[in-house]
Amino acid sequence: MIRETRLVENFLDMVKISSPSKDERAMGDYLIKVLEEIGLEVKEDNAGELNGGNCGNIIGILKAPGKKRLLFSAHMDTVVPCEKVIPVVENGIVKSDGTSILGGDDKGGIASIIEMLRVIKENNLEHPEIVVVFSIAEEVGLLGSKSFDIDSYKVDFGFILDSSGKPGKIVTKAPSAARGTIKIIGKPAHAGISPESGINALTVAAHAITKIKLGRIDLETTSNIGLVSGGQATNIVMPSVVLDYEARSLSNEKLNYLLEETFETFKVVCKEFGAKIEWNIKVEYPGFALEDNEEVIEIVKIACKKLGIASETVSSGGGSDTNIYNSKGIPCVNLAVGMSKVHTLEEYIEIKDLVDLSKILIEIIKG
């Protein structure tokens, strides 16, 4: 039932559409047209307006009164560079020409959802009520899913298509994440005439950094300082420095403890040097953990078994819209799309994986 040529052509059409975070208008218009042509009831919400973007989440509904409601979702935005994506098809693989990302993250997920919908309509397949959400600004903080009013759709389960790896991989656990800045405020002074009258903010930060936990803390927890910025000139004792920090953990308790411990360490060191601290770290999204016997997981496993595709449940170190929907009380899993080397110029996806994922989605709706 899957029409491979059509699936691939749709994917190629979409990756050519530039859709950086908060600038998804062209992609949104394309998807509205496609969903309406298939026969869905289509809406656009105000997520763009709420988050400073030019497009809202695109929502499509394929009704089936009296049946369960299933959510299928993928995000429209991509990382940069994505201004002029030139896809290359070679030996069953789609890649970019090396001057941009490909955008399989997450247009591979979108392509398989669209193919599923087309197959349903063409073959008059029985199906549950389907709610499709193509979200905005996922790459910059899951903003689209945070703004989506999922409660009003009374969804029973959700399948988010946004993981690397082969179709059949089911992400059932993902961490909470906290991000933000730590600003150390010292005191400027002339670096050559009177450095002793100043407080070098970088020195303070360096002493604190030697005392905090960074990198892999344990199997569930990580911590990182990714950016450091500050200073005015080489002849001025650095008056302030800003550290961009993030921490993640599958355990909310461990994450909170790590954040408290890190803050206390910086505070104590700042006091020793007479410096000040501005702590602006917030939990960006909550984690989730589903038991392997939950119905939403069993549905995927059964679908894969029927197709002879190996399935496995795994834990992820990254966040996705799946985190947000689970936090809103909707049991959701993140399904692997087949995307590889995402967020790089070497990104690629195998056509077979797009086909296999589409087949899995069809089996899911057939129940």
Instruction: List per-residue pLDDT tens for the chain, 367 residues long.
Output: 899 999 999 999 999 999 999 999 999 999 999 999 999 999 999 999 999 999 999 999 999 988 899 999 999 999 999 999 999 999 999 999 999 999 999 999 999 999 999 999 999 999 999 999 999 999 999 999 999 999 999 999 999 999 999 999 999 999 999 999 999 999 999 999 999 999 999 999 999 999 999 999 999 999 999 999 999 999 999 999 999 999 999 999 999 999 999 999 999 999 999 999 999 999 999 999 999 999 999 999 999 999 999 999 999 999 999 999 999 999 999 999 999 999 999 999 999 999 999 999 999 999 8
Spell out the residues 6+ positions from residue 249 whose beta carbon is closer than 8 angstroms to its own. Answer: 175, 176, 217, 220, 221, 222, 255, 258, 287
**Which pLDDT score is estimated for 193?**
97
- What is the model's pTM? 0.92
Q: Among the options 138, 139, 347, 350, which is catalytic?
A: 138
Pair 169, 183 in one domain: no
Pair 34, 164 in one domain: yes
Reported residue count of the chain is: 367
Annotation marks residue 49 as catalytic: no
Spatial separation of the C-alpha atoms in residues 28 and 25, rounded to whole Å: 5
Pair 64, 161 in one domain: yes
Which residue, 244, 212, 73, 91, is CA-closest to 150? 73
Pair 170, 314 in one domain: yes
Q: How many domains does the chain have?
A: 2
Pair 200, 170 in one domain: no
Spatial separation of the C-alpha atoms in residues 206 and 83, rounded to whole Å: 39
Give the domain extent around 318: 4-174+288-366
Pair 238, 356 in one domain: no
Q: Among the options 24, 77, 106, 356, which is catalytic?
A: 77
Q: Where among 233, 267, 285 does a domain terminate?
A: 285
Distances (CA, A) of 146 to 46, 143, 166, 251, 284: 12, 5, 27, 21, 10
CATH of the domain at 117: 3.40.630.10
Pair 295, 150 in one domain: yes
Pair 195, 277 in one domain: yes
CATH of the domain at 256: 3.30.70.360
Pair 239, 165 in one domain: no
Cβ atoms < 10 Å from Cβ of 182? 22
Which residue, 363, 256, 355, is CA-closest to 11? 355
Question: What are the two backbone dihedrals, phi and then psi, of residue 258, each rounded to the nearest 5 degrees?
Answer: -60, -45
Spatial separation of the C-alpha atoms in residues 215 and 246, rounded to whole Å: 10
Annotation marks residue 138 as catalytic: yes
Pair 207, 147 in one domain: no
Distances (CA, A) of 245 to 214, 216, 281: 10, 14, 8
Is the omega angle on the peptide bond into residue 286 within 30 degrees of 0, that is, cis?
Answer: no
Q: Where among 265, 285, 305 does a domain terminate?
A: 285
Spatial separation of the C-alpha atoms in residues 269 and 271, rounded to whole Å: 5
Helix ranges (DSSP H) in the chain: 4-15, 25-38, 47-51, 104-122, 143-147, 201-209, 252-273, 295-307, 321-327, 351-366
Pair 9, 148 in one domain: yes
Q: Where among 285, 312, 341 does a domain terminate?
A: 285
Pair 348, 295 in one domain: yes
Residue carrying the six token digits 């296999």: 356
